[in-house]
Structure 1
Amino acid sequence: MSRWSRSSSLDRAVDRRTEADLDEAWQRGVVLSIDGEGRIAAADGQALIAPTQGRRGANDIYLGVFDGRDWFASPESSLDGETIGWREAPADEYDPLAAAVFLARWNRQNPACERCGGPTAPDQGGIRRVCGSCGALSFARMDPCVIVAITDPDDRLLLARNFQWPPHRVSIIAGFIEAGESVEQACHREAAEEVGVELAELSYVSSQPWPMPRSLMLGFEARAVDSRIRVDGDEILEGAFYTRTDLAAAVSSGGIVLPGGASIARHLIDRWISAG
């Protein structure tokens, strides 16, 4: 089971978000500083979780209650000193940090009202924004993506290298869902477009937030009709099916580099490995 399949460790405190509630929470809370790239202020490789000071600012975001404390995020244009990405933090902090990065980046954009185009301001501690002209509410949007662990009829796993990645870095097939397309249709289309693979079977596994900048990864397992591969040569430069033995040898020799442990890609790969 993926850690994202369990109940969140972050209580988003939806019933405690009046201005008075937020001011009270600020007085006893802690705050993270996050820059425009989603990097988190850090010290000694850990997210810098500092006690709140002074008065709560209009742009300070209330994340909720985590580990018995009220957590806030403060969006900054830039940060001096050490920073980390949310994936570099301990796994037990992923829930508040993913929310912090997502909401900080969204609120920093000061999105215009979708109804009238007027300016918006943070509301309820930054989990939504309200238009100053027409009063319409807006909420942070997530871009749904599919990610698929594809095996061939011999139960070999397909791994491929994106053109943006350094040599040896590989992962499973992923892509955004197109307008008017179901999640399942996106899996079939991405497999066909990127590696020329036709899927015979498809099943959902789990999901993961990916606030870089605002994706929701929907993880699947699939079985290919056959073992033929035809990479598109554009987005995908190379791909191959691996047995478990081949994969272990390639990783051990440095011939390939797998996704990091914080990713759903790695979860799906490890799930296939453990099933053998």
Structure 2
Amino acid sequence: MTSAPFQLGALPALSRSTVDRNETLRTDPERLLSRWPDARVVVVDRYGRSPVPLAAVHELPPGGIPLATRKALSFGEEPPETAAFLGQWQDTDYWLVPGAPPEDAEMIDIEGVWGVRQQAPSAESEAWVELRGHGSLLDDTSAGLLTTAEALRNWHWRGRFCARCGGATQRRQFGWATQCSSCGREEYPRTDPAVICLVHDDVGVNGQHVLLARQPIWPPKRYSVLAGFVEAGESLEGCVEREIREEAGVEVRDIRYLGSQPWPFPRSIMLGFAARADAGAALSPADGEIEDARWVPREAVRAAFRGENEQLLLPGNSSIAHVMLRAWARAEA
């Protein structure tokens, strides 16, 4: 029986969402204001952390951890100027409002990204967790809400002044646009495309080895697939070819699309691809950018996912790289 090319097989953690974010919902002020008293608010602090029930962090409930949203009226009779509409779910409107943990919050250790313990503020039976490290633990609705909230928070933080004249910007369309107070220039949330590619050798359909690399700033033994931003005037496939050549010195072919995931750190969308390269192709890591690159056999990746390979630390559950590598590891050559 011939193997089929591997597919993702699962939705990346930050691509999950149930909320209706139709543009017509946020361009109807009368509707939004009339529903504000019954709306719920996602609070996010300047580090991208949002509160969840503390008990749920320690005992993961079926379906995932819910965000600890607030009643909208606790922020006033109308949405504050810093609020942004996130969408509607089950006849409830959801908004983002910047906030912060209580001043008396204590720092606690919880399991975080890459299997490393992280500190998080905790108060009033809640823990403030961040999307990159804990997004995969959230339920589908909460994952979508916090991903959108973090994307908007980052955009507004970096877009406080006009790119044309330097004037201060003011929010419009309930957080989905800004307008310069000096020249009137309008701006809308931006997303920067980046490719991430799983390269395997050309033995069989899905190969026997995968190309993994590590950056110098990563924790010891941490490896992942290669990624990079799409440049101006460049196709996605062209970006895949260039990035793999630049970072590992390898020529790839048979490039195919796998799936995508928003990555609002600060405003990317990761476009996942797979590609093939010659078996045993010599690797030449980019000086200063890639500390090490290597061909890793499938069984070594499988063992890492089972927790039986202490020499290989794979991407955390919140990243599309995790889904890509798990799908490849499960496939047959």
TM value normalised by structure 2: 0.76
Q: Which amino acid aligns with 1:40?
A: S
Choose from 64, 75, 82 the match for 2:98. Answer: 75
Alpha carbons of structure 1 residues 184 and 91: separation in structure 2 relative to 1, 3 Å: farther
Report the equivalent of 1:33.
43
**Gaps in structure 2 of 5+ consecutive residues:** 1-8, 58-64, 106-120, 122-127
Q: Which moved more, 1:14-23 or 1:180-189?
A: 14-23
Report the equivalent of 1:177.
230
Report the equivalent of 1:3.
11
Q: Which amino acid aligns with 2:216?
A: F
Q: Which moved more, 1:4-13 or 1:192-201?
A: 4-13
- Describe how 1:109-128 pairs up with structure 2 within 5 A: 109-128=158-177
TM-superposed CA distance for 1:113, in Å, is 3.0
Q: Which moved more, 1:45-54 or 1:181-190?
A: 45-54
- Describe how 1:41-60 pairs up with structure 2 within 5 A: 41-44=51-54, 45=57, 47-52=67-72, 53=74, 54-55=76-77, 56-60=79-83
TM-superposed CA distance for 1:135, in Å, is 3.4
Tell me the SS of whatever aligns to 1:11.
coil
Question: Percent identity over the alignment?
Answer: 34
Alpha carbons of structure 1 residues 99 and 132: separation in structure 2 relative to 1, 3 Å: same
RMSD (Å) for aligned C-alpha atoms: 2.2
Q: How many residues align?
A: 275
- Describe how 1:233-252 pairs up with structure 2 within 5 A: 233-250=287-304, 251-252=307-308
TM-superposed CA distance for 1:217, in Å, is 0.4
- Describe the superposition over 1:154-191 as per-residue Cα deviations: whole angstroms up to 9, x where unpaired: 31111111111111111100111122222111111111
Q: Which amino acid aligns with 1:247?
A: V
Task: Tell me whether 1:207 sits opposite 2:263 in the alignment.
Answer: no
TM-superposed CA distance for 1:96, in Å, is 1.3
Judge conservation of contact 1:38–1:212 (CA < 8 Å) in 2.
Answer: no
Task: Tell me whether 1:198 sits opposite 2:207 in the alignment.
Answer: no
Alpha carbons of structure 1 residues 3 and 248: separation in structure 2 relative to 1, 3 Å: closer
Report the equivalent of 1:229.
283
Q: Which amino acid aligns with 1:98?
A: T
Q: Which moved more, 1:221-230 or 1:82-91?
A: 82-91
Tell me the SS of whatever aligns to 1:232.
coil
Alpha carbons of structure 1 residues 9 and 229: separation in structure 2 relative to 1, 3 Å: same
Q: Which moved more, 1:45-54 or 1:135-144?
A: 45-54
Structure 2 Cα separation of the partners of residues 234 and 211 of structure 1: 25
Structure 2 Cα separation of the partners of residues 26 and 180 of structure 1: 43
**Larger RCO, structures 1/2 (Cα 8 Å, 6+ apart):** 2
Judge conservation of contact 1:157–1:242 (CA < 8 Å) in 2.
Answer: yes
Alpha carbons of structure 1 residues 165 and 36: separation in structure 2 relative to 1, 3 Å: same
Judge conservation of contact 1:75–1:108 (CA < 8 Å) in 2.
Answer: no
Judge conservation of contact 2:248–2:286 (CA < 8 Å) in 1.
Answer: yes
Report the equivalent of 2:23.
14
Judge conservation of contact 2:17–2:145 (CA < 8 Å) in 1.
Answer: no
Choose from 130, 141, 144 the match for 1:85. Answer: 130
TM-superposed CA distance for 1:15, in Å, is 1.6
Q: Which amino acid aligns with 2:331?
A: A
Structure 2 Cα separation of the partners of residues 233 and 122 of structure 1: 43
Q: Which moved more, 1:7-16 or 1:29-38?
A: 7-16
TM-superposed CA distance for 1:236, in Å, is 1.1
Structure 2 Cα separation of the partners of residues 273 and 242 of structure 1: 11
Judge conservation of contact 1:203–1:222 (CA < 8 Å) in 2.
Answer: yes
Alpha carbons of structure 1 residues 39 and 7: separation in structure 2 relative to 1, 3 Å: closer
Q: Which amino acid aligns with 2:312?
A: I
Structure 1 Cα separation of the partners of residues 90 and 320 of structure 2: 24
**Gaps in structure 1 of 5+ consecutive residues:** none
Task: Tell me whether 1:143 sits opposite 2:192 in the alignment.
Answer: yes
Structure 2 Cα separation of the partners of residues 273 and 68 of structure 1: 41
Structure 1 Cα separation of the partners of residues 244 and 34 of structure 2: 51
Judge conservation of contact 2:198–2:324 (CA < 8 Å) in 1.
Answer: yes
Tell me the SS of whatever aligns to 2:308.
helix
Alpha carbons of structure 1 residues 73 and 117: separation in structure 2 relative to 1, 3 Å: same
Report the equivalent of 2:329.
273
Judge conservation of contact 1:147–1:187 (CA < 8 Å) in 2.
Answer: yes
